[in-house]
Amino acid sequence: MRVAHFDCFSGISGDMVLGAAIGAGADATAVRAALDSLGLPIALEIESVKRCGFAATKVNVEAKDQEDYRFLPDVEAIIARGALTDRQRTLARAIFQKVAVAESAAHGMPLERVHFHEVGALDSIADIVGAAVALDLLGVEKFTSSSVPTGSGTVKCAHGIMPVPTPGTLELLKGVPLAKSAVKGELTTPTGAAILRTVVTEFIDTPTMTVERVGTGAGTKDFIEQPNILRLFVGTVAASAVDAGGESDMVWVLETNLDDIPSEVIGFCVDELFAAGALDVFTVPIQMKKNRPGVLLSAIADDEVVAKLETIFFRETATFGVRKYWAVRAKLQRETVSALTQWGPIRAKRGWRGDFVVITPEYDDCARVAREQGIPLRDVYTAVRRATA
C-alpha cells in the first residue's frame, strides 16, 4: 500500500502542504493547470528556499486582496467550475466543509451563515485546491500524521488579536494529539488543520513504512528556534501491516452513563440519534457506583454531525456529561450487490479484506420477501448467500 506521513514538528499550513507535496513528486504543471481552470486572478510561484539552513520548497500565490467575504456555496461554485478530477474536487470540497463546520461551532451560527475570512481569500482557495490536487497526484491510499504543535502567543486575524490556537483552528484540532512548542506565533493554521482532519486516518509520531521520497514545504516565516518546514514522507507499507487490504478511517465515539431514566426514553433517544446521522447507536448494561444498575449509551459518528448528536444526548437524557473521543475504525472494503433469487433480486452488502469475503443480506429486502412469501426469514438469508457465493 502506498502511504504518506506528515511530519508536523513545526506545524502545518496550506502552502506548506502544497510545497511538501510538490517536493515529494506531485506534478507542479498539473497543479498550475488545475488552479488556472478556476478562472481566478491568481498565479502560482514555486521557489527553492532555506529555513535554518535546510532546503525546502516554498509556494507563493500571487493574488489581489479582496474585501468581500465568501460563503461555503460561493467557494463550492468556484471548485465546481474547475477542471479537476472527481477525487480532487471531492477532497477540496471536504476540506472547506471541515473549515465551515469548525467556524460554525466557534461562532455559534448555522452552517449556511458562516462566511470565510482568511480562508475565503484567493490565496487560501489556491492553497486548499492546490493541496487537494497535489495530494491526489501522489497516488497515496493512506495518510498519517505526527502530533501537531499549534504555537503560542497571539495572532492578528479578521476578528482582532486572538490567542494561538485561534477558536476555529482549535475546533478543527479536537481529537488530534497536540505537541509542545516554544515558538511564539501561529504554527498551525485553520487551512493546515482542515487538511489534516480531512485526509489523515491515524496520528502516529513514528510511522511503519519504507520511505521512498521526502517533500519539504517551507512556511512563510523563518524562525530562529527551528526550521519552519513541513516534511512529507511518501512510501509503502507491506500488505500484512495494513490489514491485508482493508480500509480505515477516524470516527467520533460519544457515550454517557445513565441510571435514572425510563427505558422508553433511551429508546426514543436512540431513534433520534440515528435520525440525526449517527453511524451506529448501541446500549450496554453496566454496574454503576453504589451498585446501581445502569445503561451505557454510545453513538458512533462522523465529524459533521457530532454537535447535533451531543445536543440530543443532553436534551433527551438530561445527562450531566457526554464523553467524546476519536477512534480509528478498521473496515472491510465493501460494495452493494444484487442477489438473483427465486423471488427476484435482493440487495446485499459484500465486504472483503484480502482473501476474506463476507456477504450480509439487507434486512429490509429480506423481511419484505419473507412476509410476502410467508416463509422463514432465515430461508431468504440462505438463498441470498447462495446466490452471491
Amino acid at 134: A
Residues 352 and 293 in one domain: no
Residues 133 and 32 in one domain: yes
Q: How far apart are CA 177 and CA 194, in angstroms?
A: 14
CATH number reported for the structural domain that contains residue 321 in this entry: 3.30.70.1380
Cell digits of residue 227: 526550521
The reported pLDDT for the residue numbered 244 is 47
Full domain range(s) for residue 144? 2-244
Of 204, 222, 244, the one marking the end of a domain is 244
Q: Of 197, 216, 228, 389, which is closest to residue 306 (Cα–Cα)? A: 197
The reported pLDDT for the residue numbered 183 is 87
Residues 224 and 282 in one domain: no
Residues 294 and 339 in one domain: no
Residues 9 and 152 in one domain: yes
Residues 342 and 217 in one domain: no
The reported pLDDT for the residue numbered 239 is 54
Residues 277 and 236 in one domain: no
C-beta pairs of 176-180 under 8 Å, 24+ apart in sequence: 176/147, 176/148, 176/203, 176/326, 177/147, 177/148, 177/203, 178/147, 178/148, 178/149, 178/150, 179/8, 179/9, 179/146, 179/147, 179/148, 179/149, 180/149
The reported pLDDT for the residue numbered 377 is 96
How wide is the angle at C-alpha 151 spanned by C-alphas 149 and 154, nearest 5°?
Answer: 155
Of 213, 244, 275, the one marking the end of a domain is 244
pTM of the model: 0.66
Residues 207 and 76 in one domain: yes
Write the CA distances from 252 to 149, 224, 365, integer angstroms. Answer: 22, 38, 30
The count of structural domains within the chain is 3
Residues 70 and 192 in one domain: yes
389 residues of the chain, pLDDT tens digit each: 889 999 999 999 999 999 999 999 999 999 999 999 999 888 899 999 999 989 999 999 887 766 566 778 888 899 999 999 988 999 999 998 888 888 777 767 666 666 565 555 788 889 999 999 999 999 998 899 999 999 888 887 766 788 888 888 898 998 889 998 888 889 999 999 999 999 998 898 888 889 999 999 999 888 888 999 999 999 998 655 544 445 667 788 999 999 989 999 999 999 999 999 999 999 999 999 888 999 999 999 987 888 899 999 999 999 999 998 878 788 888 889 999 999 999 999 998 887 788 999 999 999 999 999 999 999 999 999 999 87
Residues 235 and 275 in one domain: no
Other Cβ atoms less than 10 A from the Cβ of 52: the count is 14
Of 244, 279, 298, the one marking the end of a domain is 244
Under DSSP, the state recorded for 219 is P
The reported pLDDT for the residue numbered 29 is 95
Residues 60 and 32 in one domain: yes
Residues 145 and 201 in one domain: yes
